[in-house]
Structures are given as structure tokens and as C-alpha cells.
Amino acid sequence: MPAVSMKGLKMPESPIRKLVPYAEKARKANKHIYHLNIGQPDIKSPVAAMDAVANHGIDVLAYSRSEGSEEFREKIAAYYGRNDIPVTADDIIVTTGGSEALLFALGTICDEGDEVIIPEPFYANYNGFAIASGVKIVPVISKIENNFALPPISDFEKSITSKTKAILICNPGNPTGYLYTKEEIHTLAGIVKKHDLFLMADEVYREFTYDGLEHYSILQEDDLAQHGIIIDSVSKRYSMCGARIGYLVSKNKEVIATALKFAQARLSPPTFALIASEAALSTPQSYFDEVISEYKGRRDTLVKHLQEIPGVKVGVPKGAFYCIVELPVTNSDKFAQWLLEEFDLDQETIMVAPAAGFYSTPGVGLNQVRIAYVLNKKSLIRSVEILKEALQQYPD
């Protein structure tokens, strides 16, 4: 029988989605599941985006430009300008989701066997993207004890080799909710300039910051133009995950010209999604003000109730809508499966994402889960009640 590729065999399962078969069985057993495992916002997508698709008036669903129309990219550049990120339409390539932007970026700057340093825990699909691109992830561990702050500079310095091409961060972070300070971004900028590396920043959660804190982009660093690459997306910002529209942004002309070759190879992003995303750029600030207020309330509710469970430790997020929770269990994969297969509280249970899949260091994060607080406060309170009872019953 023909064999699949070694690359395919090494591709990791998504810790966010691999429990879906167990969830389906639980649902067929008439259990109600509170989905804390996936960052699918329940906030309505902007009306302008939905109306633009409904009233499109298109007779022929044609290809779009590989990099996105000039008009759309100019509007994106204007959006960045409003956020004090000085870029032009020529610095932007529109992609099929932030995932494709990251794949294009890795393909543009890395050859087979090159290395990218990433503070972990990190977005689980970075593992898959790296394997698909033949890139080795070199992790630098951040810890829940100091709320996943940037690891010491010495940890980065000692991880740099002749194969290192970039440092990649997610800011605000998925899965930790950590928000990098201006000083931390400045420190990372100093490292990449010193060692002539790229600094890649996944900034898809830019608007989601709390406690009066503000997001600081890598491209707000004046002298990082040739080193900086932003990965961005409309998915979370406008609650449009299904649109699959993202952006690759860099002021490095060679990076953009090379990434465009990858964009041309896949022809173009989806037209209807482009229409919706362009319209979404007109979303007023009041939309975000309401969304951020809602998520802050959810965060505060979730963290408060989690902290009341004996033996539970939670990293307090400053951005995005995720947190890492350390549980008094030895293996969160088994615990998460048990929650779906064998446990319920009045026919209700929860679905969480085991956190080991957000690390590349073996054996780390085994007693942690990621929780996405994308449910309303009442559902979050009930979810924590279920978790508390489950921990008391779990035969670990």
C-alpha cells in the first residue's frame, strides 16, 4: 500500500478540534456541551459586512487580484494608520485567513531546516504550519507563575543559531491572553536587529485589550521596517471567522514581492469574503467599545470563579479572549475526554482544549487547559460549576 509522507505523519492534530468525535457522541447522548475549546465569538458580525454580501449585485463570480484589490488594500492601510501603524497598500497582501498569511511568511523567509524561535505556549497551529514548511520551532518557555510574561532575553540569545531566521510572537496572545508591553516589543526589536533576524507578530487580537492597556505593534518601532512582518485577520476583530480573510503586512519590499508569488500560486482569495471584509472596515468604534466591554466582563467573571476552585491556577489575560488554566490533574487530554465521555452534571458538561498541544516542548502543559471565554457570563459561571464538580469526581 502506498505510504503517506513523513511530513504528513508528523503533522499534529489540533488540540482544539481533536475531541470533536467525543463531543458528537456526547451530544447524541443528549448532553448539553458548553464549548470553551474554540475561539469562535458569539458576537454578531457587523451588519455592514452582511449587507454588502446580500446586496452584492455580482453577475459573474470572477477571480480577484492575488494580493487583493488596490482599493481594499488602501482601506486596510487607512485602518492601520488609525492605529498608528504607518503602512501603505503596497505593504499589504490579502490572504485566505491569517493562517495563509503565516504560511506565506514562513515560505518567504525560511528554507528547509531553518529555525523560528517562539515563546510558548503558542497558538497550536504554529506547530502544523512549521512542519508543513519544513521549519523547526525552537521554543522559549514562558510560565504561568509570572503570567506568561516575556522570557528572559538570555533565553532568546542562547537559542539563536546559524539556522535561526525569525522570532514569532502572538500579541495579544493565544492561548495565554498575554499582552506584550511597548518595552518588551522594543527589547525583541533589539534582538532581531542585533542578529539580523525577522520579527513576526500575529496581531489578530489587536483590538482586544483590557484594564486600560493598549496594543503596541511591532511596526510602530521606527527602525524595524526591514525586519517586521505582521500576520493579521478579520476573523476575531469582526467576528467573521468563516470569511477566511487575513493580511500579510511588511515594509520589506523583498518580503512582499516574494510572498506575492505564493499568493499568485493560489490564484486569489474568495470574492464574497473580500466584499464582506472590505465593508467591515467601516465598522464604527462603538462596535469595538461594546465588544471589549463585554469580553472584559466575561474575563472577570471567569477568572473570579476559577480562582475559587481549590488547586486551580489561572493566568489572568490582558488581551484576546483566552486563558490558560492549571488543573489538579496529571493529564488534561484524558481529563478533557473523560468530561465528554463519562461525566455530566444534570446532563451538562464542558469541552476544553488540552494545553499540551500549545507547547512544542515534550511533557510541558500536561496539567493545563485553554479556555476561550466566548460564552455569555451565565454560561461561563455554569461551566465553572461543572468544572468544579468534575474535578471532585475525576478518578485521576
Q: What is the pTM of this model?
A: 0.96
Let me know the angle formed at the C-alpha of 347 by 344 and 351, rounded to the nearest 5 degrees: 55
Express each pLDDT in 110-164 by its tens digit. Answer: 999 999 999 999 999 999 999 999 999 999 999 999 999 989 988 999 999 999 9
Check residue 153 and give its pLDDT. 86
Check residue 15 and give its pLDDT. 76
Number of Cβ within 10 Å of residue 234's Cβ equals 29
Express each pLDDT in 230-288 by its tens digit. Answer: 999 999 999 999 999 999 999 999 999 999 999 999 999 999 999 999 999 999 999 99
Task: Write down the mean pLDDT value for the chain.
Answer: 96
Check residue 16 and give its pLDDT. 73
Check residue 17 and give its pLDDT. 80
What would be the CATH architecture of the domain defined by 6-44+286-393? Alpha-Beta Complex (3.90)
Q: Is the pLDDT reported for residue 67 higher than 90?
A: yes
Check residue 14 and give its pLDDT. 83
How far is the C-alpha of 109 from the C-alpha of 204, rounded, in Å?
Answer: 21
What would be the CATH architecture of the domain defined by 58-280? 3-Layer(aba) Sandwich (3.40)
* Burial readout 99-131 (b: 16 or more C-beta within 10 A, e: otherwise): bbbbbbbbbbbbeeebbbbbbbbbbbbbbbbbb
Q: Please report, for the chain, the start and end positions of each structural domain, with discontinuous segments joined by +.
A: 6-44+286-393, 58-280
Check residue 55 and give its pLDDT. 96
